[in-house]
Structure 1
Amino acid sequence: MGALCCKEDAVDFDDEVDLSHFTLLRSVGKGAFGKVRVVQHKGSKRLFALKYINKAKCIRMRAVENIISERRLLEFIHHDFVVNLRYAFQDDENLFMVIDLMLGGDLRFHLDRMGPFPEDYVRFYAAEVALALRYLHRKHIVHRDLKPDNILLNEHGHAHLTDFNIAVRYSSEKPLTSIAGSMAYMAPEILMKRGYAASVDWWSLGVVCYELLVGKRPFRAKSNEALQHAIMHDPVEFPDDINLSTESMDFVRGLMTRDITQRLGFGPNGFKRLQAHAWFKAYDWNLLESKQASPPFIPDDKRANFDPTHELEEILLEDNPLKVKKRAPKRSGSNNNIKSQYSNDALPETSPEQKKMEERFLVFDYTKQNTGSASLDNRKTSKAYEEKCETRTLADEVSNNNPL
């Protein structure tokens, strides 16, 4: 009779959350410097998505401020049509964010799979995303990277906005001026560099709706310069061979007007004008907002709604697979970890970026936010950092790739 081996250590869920609290399941995505896996919390048995970012790669890509900003913003966001943060923590090698799991895949995946969507699909997603944008803008947060890749469906078919990597707080006294986002979805006012705020998200929603309806983006060019010129000057035209209602085309043009005072969604009465648009004449917005409206499309739960090569790459190509690792001890009187004994990619203890991640990427546990002095201290620190970042413009950040 063989002896038992590799018995899993008991987990104390009263301790600060870390990777040992979760069972690692399949890989479902990756970005420029991060990956996503399905995980199950060992205590609650709930499934989540684990987004993890390698610290060394984060520093090499100059993305430390973006990741910290995303972590800070997500702590103060909770909405039915947003992919919400549930836990955050770190070890010596990675930063971790545990978020709501969306099993239905992103709209880019479904667009690639089945081509242009029926109008009722696009109308439903536009309405749910609009509700998410209204919530964010009321909190003075602009997303800045709205595109099909960043709209995820849950298993029931409801749309959720994700990826707040370049989202930022804005102030009416100090408009944003940085060029940030994916260029094909950028509003003209970003490219004009005269200052902008929440108006840019509504333009991007128009580009997304056009792409979902037509199967391609409204402005295309062979160079960035030509694309910028098209975004700033060309009319929004629909192909003659696409059978679309007059109301749908008028709605898209209403979002993509270059006169932001007339843009649907934006301004004091912008959202009311959006709700009252003829394309939504049969919509019960109260039913929609309570998530009681029936989605027109339910993702197939018998097939993967993501690229299966992500899991294959994790198995075959990952030279440092994710696993639970104890943190290296800290030196007395220092906030920096000594060099990790677990990885050749560890950061030197003198790295200012490492120190910044240690101090600002705080532990978050949504189940403990109203209890305990440590949690209270974290909330105070979070609030101070939130206020410090309130008008930060990310002047040197441009995200034209697809960061996770």
Structure 2
Amino acid sequence: MGANTSSKSPPFDENEDVTFDHFEILRAIGKGSFGKVCVVQKNDTKKMYAMKYMNKQKCVERNEVRNVFKELQIMQGLEHPFLVNLWYSFQDEEDMFMVVDLLLGGDLRYHLQQNVRFQEGTVKLFICELVLALDYLQSRHIIHRDIKPDNILLDEHAPEMFNSTKPTGYSFAVDWWSLGITAYELLRTRRPYHIRSNTSTNEIAHVFKTATVMYPAAWSTGMVSLIKKLLEPNPEKRFSQLKDIQDFPYLSDVNWDAVLQKRIMPEFIPTKGRLNCDPTFELEEMILESKPLHKKKKRLAKKEKDTSKNNSSQACHLQKHLEMLQRDFIVFNREK
């Protein structure tokens, strides 16, 4: 998926729908269970984006279509400086696409793995920026439920949070608790609770209620007090409103308008001029992927030719669901 693999496309009519053909594929930067993310450049404006693409057949087989549609529906109505905003959504025979803001600074998990040690001032600013995003989501009645370093992305100056729309029965307070966990891990490079991957849910709940969180003596009393308020086991007593944070003495010096407008420079700035992500994503796409994105046009052309010869080879049940997905998919263009 190198920069030279896509052929130059002719100019497009600005009134036509945005499609896969409107973008040049540059490189892969991430993947999930059934979706991948690559860096793309829009041919007409030359603007860079991140493109998430999800294989339709895998989504149908794993019963994830409803979740994808819900995510699209929610993201269309969101726009905030500290969220990764959706710009376009479209589909082709193989995949569903979501084109969103590109954050070149990498996620906080990547930087922790690179042995970055975040200073308290940086984490304090991150907390302020993230609570503004949480307050915005809360005002839209959205619970994120997946706040963690992996889902906090950096641009050259400030973090943004990718929207998670998994169904949940939790209250808004769960996001603020996760924020406390994230702040602790950024400062200490490990989580406040010792939990293994095979620990049962009952044991985990017991740990959260009974374990004593250790706070290094080097941390300021203000930061410790703030994290304790976020990690309060009782959601009724936990900080879970923007006003709770803004009224807290430790943050009395914060210019919240300046934070929202990204006018405050953090002490940590990601390396510019390169993508801060694991290079193996690109290698896997080039070597291991059976249906690489940069060969999509040739593959679909061949598929159309083969299908016209032998349409009966497709499974009827799967084909029916794919046709329903094709019909119900939500097309979006923020510029229109």
- Which TM-score tier does this pair reach, normalised by the shorter chain? 0.7 to 0.9
CA displacement, residues 1-58 of structure 1 (integer Å, 9 cap, x when unaligned): xxxxx77444333221110001111111111111111111111111000000111122
State how far apart, in whole Å, the 2-side matches of 1:162 and 1:152 are.
7
The answer to whether 1:205 aligns with 2:179 is yes
**1:327 and 1:347, CA in 2 relative to 1: closer, same or farther beyond 3 A?**
farther
1:5-404 paired onto structure 2 within 5 Å? 8-155=9-156, 157-166=157-166, 177=169, 196-222=170-196, 223-225=198-200, 226-231=203-208, 233-240=209-216, 243-264=218-239, 266=240, 270-323=241-294, 324-325=296-297, 348=315, 350-351=317-318, 353-368=321-336
State how far apart, in whole Å, the 1-side matches of 2:266 and 2:272 are.
15
Deviation at 1:219, TM superposition (A): 1.7
**1:224 and 1:360, CA in 2 relative to 1: closer, same or farther beyond 3 A?**
farther
Verify the 8 A CA contact 2:193 2:211 in the aligned structure 1: no
Deviation at 1:339, TM superposition (A): 9.5
State how far apart, in whole Å, the 2-side matches of 1:328 and 1:321 are.
12
Counterpart secondary structure, 2:114: helix
In the superposition, the TM-score normalised over structure 2's length comes to 0.87
CA displacement, residues 121-176 of structure 1 (integer Å, 9 cap, x when unaligned): 11111110100000010011111111110010112x2110104241x5xxxxxxx5
| Code of the aligned partner of 2:161 | L
Partner residue, 1:400: none
State how far apart, in whole Å, the 2-side matches of 1:236 and 1:13 are.
59
Structure 1: tracts of 5 or more residues without a match: 1-5, 169-175, 178-195, 330-336, 369-404
Deviation at 1:239, TM superposition (A): 4.8
Verify the 8 A CA contact 2:144 2:175 in the aligned structure 1: yes
Verify the 8 A CA contact 2:88 2:100 in the aligned structure 1: yes
Counterpart secondary structure, 2:26: strand
Deviation at 1:119, TM superposition (A): 0.7
**1:339 and 1:217, CA in 2 relative to 1: closer, same or farther beyond 3 A?**
farther
Verify the 8 A CA contact 2:105 2:154 in the aligned structure 1: yes
Deviation at 1:103, TM superposition (A): 0.3
Alignment: residue pair count: 321
Deviation at 1:115, TM superposition (A): 4.3
State how far apart, in whole Å, the 1-side matches of 2:102 and 2:316 are.
34
Bigger Cα displacement from structure 2, 284-293 vs 15-24: 284-293
Verify the 8 A CA contact 1:339 1:349 in the aligned structure 2: no
Partner residue, 1:371: none
Deviation at 1:259, TM superposition (A): 2.2
Counterpart secondary structure, 2:44: coil
Counterpart secondary structure, 2:41: strand
| Code of the aligned partner of 2:145 | R
Verify the 8 A CA contact 2:11 2:44 in the aligned structure 1: no
Verify the 8 A CA contact 1:81 1:129 in the aligned structure 2: yes
Counterpart secondary structure, 1:142: coil
**1:89 and 1:72, CA in 2 relative to 1: closer, same or farther beyond 3 A?**
same
Counterpart secondary structure, 1:105: coil
Deviation at 1:68, TM superposition (A): 1.1
| Code of the aligned partner of 1:230 | V
Counterpart secondary structure, 1:66: helix
Bigger Cα displacement from structure 2, 90-99 vs 308-317: 308-317
Verify the 8 A CA contact 2:9 2:22 in the aligned structure 1: no
Deviation at 1:59, TM superposition (A): 2.2
Counterpart secondary structure, 1:250: helix
| Code of the aligned partner of 2:191 | R
Counterpart secondary structure, 2:207: helix
Partner residue, 1:394: none
State how far apart, in whole Å, the 2-side matches of 1:319 and 1:145 are.
30
State how far apart, in whole Å, the 1-side matches of 2:288 and 2:109 are.
25
Counterpart secondary structure, 2:293: coil
Counterpart secondary structure, 2:335: helix
Verify the 8 A CA contact 1:39 1:49 in the aligned structure 2: yes
State how far apart, in whole Å, the 1-side matches of 2:82 and 2:278 are.
23
**1:302 and 1:281, CA in 2 relative to 1: closer, same or farther beyond 3 A?**
same
| Code of the aligned partner of 2:327 | E
| Code of the aligned partner of 2:190 | K
State how far apart, in whole Å, the 2-side matches of 1:291 and 1:61 are.
40
State how far apart, in whole Å, the 2-side matches of 1:312 and 1:220 are.
34
Bigger Cα displacement from structure 2, 82-91 vs 206-215: 206-215
Structure 2: tracts of 5 or more residues without a match: 1-6
State how far apart, in whole Å, the 1-side matches of 2:134 and 2:305 are.
42
Deviation at 1:276, TM superposition (A): 2.0
Deviation at 1:309, TM superposition (A): 0.9
**Normalized per residue, which structure has more helix?**
2
State how far apart, in whole Å, the 2-side matches of 1:140 and 1:165 are.
11
**1:326 and 1:320, CA in 2 relative to 1: closer, same or farther beyond 3 A?**
closer
